[in-house]
Structure 1
Amino acid sequence: MFIRLTDQISVAGQLDPGDLAQAAAEGFVSVVNNRPDGETFDQPAESVLADAAAAAGLAYTAIPIDHSGFTMAQVEAMAAVLDEASGPVLAWCRSGTRSANLWALAEARRGGDPDAIVAAAARGRYDVSGLLPTLQSLSPR
């Protein structure tokens, strides 16, 4: 259910409130909801997920990504979550793809090696290779 990209980040498709208790049991310390509230009629409300995360003892951040693309503010917000987390982070959206892409952009912004980022995403079966030029421009390497 949770797809590990690195020791610090895993991604997933849509989670339910009970999945957050499972995430805490598996050692995650922070969760990031990358799905806009109300994107589909069948997803749990953001407030319900935030409450479930708090009940599980998880730090919770909402960085909604709609289909119009990513902004630098969203990239910076994800980088901040990764910088501040004291352990593994779990990010989710509908399928995990937006979360994997946002992580890749944030990791490059944090100084990660673009080729290593692409390889890590690929191990999780996410193809972020189309972002390589952007990853290269974001990375201070």
Structure 2
Amino acid sequence: MTPVLAESAALSTALTQNVSVSGKMTEDKFRVLLSQGFRSVIVNRPDQEPGNTVTVYALRNIAEKKQVSVIYQPVQSGKISPTDVTEFARYYHELPKPILMICNSGSRSSQLFHQAKTAGLINE
């Protein structure tokens, strides 16, 4: 395995065969992740969150060139609501897979996925 591939493999964490999460995003990192075959992206990090350096608009521009869907579903860390979980489950069922979920560290996206799974809204 070349160093570039080893580095890119660590850019996301697979939760299942269909869903992976990734933390802090840059345009370059996003391009590498898209080259790994993700067909949809759900951005859970609010654009205005402190420390966020790339907007969903910028990510969407990159993704459109690869024909990848980008959904903006910002959720507040530690404040994921039942409505957030239901909305995520709807996206999960509608979007082409595999799906990449993005937030600051990957944690809130993972929580959103696991809450939907625990609620029986997705079966993986």
Q: TM-score, normalised by structure 2?
A: 0.80
% identical equivalent positions = 26
Moved more, 1-10 or 55-64: 55-64
* Corresponding residue of 1:29: 39
- Aligned pair in 2 of structure 1 residues 111, 37: CA closer, same or farther (>3 Å)? closer
Q: CA deviation at 1:68?
A: 5.3
User: Taking CA–CA contacts closer than 8 Å with sequence separation of 6 or more, which of the two structures ends up with the larger relative contact order?
Assistant: 2
- Aligned pair in 2 of structure 1 residues 9, 111: CA closer, same or farther (>3 Å)? closer
* Corresponding residue of 1:65: 75
Q: CA deviation at 1:104?
A: 0.7
- The RMSD of aligned alpha carbons is 1.8
The answer on whether the counterparts of 1:17 and 1:53 sit within 8 Å (CA) in structure 2 is no
* Corresponding residue of 2:14: 4
Q: CA deviation at 1:42?
A: 4.6
Letter in 1 for 2:97: G
What pairs with 1:1-141 in structure 2 (closer than 5 Å)? 1-67=11-77, 69-109=79-119, 110-112=121-123
Unaligned 5+ runs, structure 1? 114-141
The answer on whether the counterparts of 2:89 and 2:122 sit within 8 Å (CA) in structure 1 is no
Q: Deviations over 1:90-118 (max 9, x none)?
A: 101110000000011122332548xxxxx
Runs of 4+ in structure 1 deviating by more than 6 angstroms, as ranges, are none
Q: How many residues align?
A: 113
Give SS of 1:74's match: helix
Unaligned 5+ runs, structure 2? 1-10
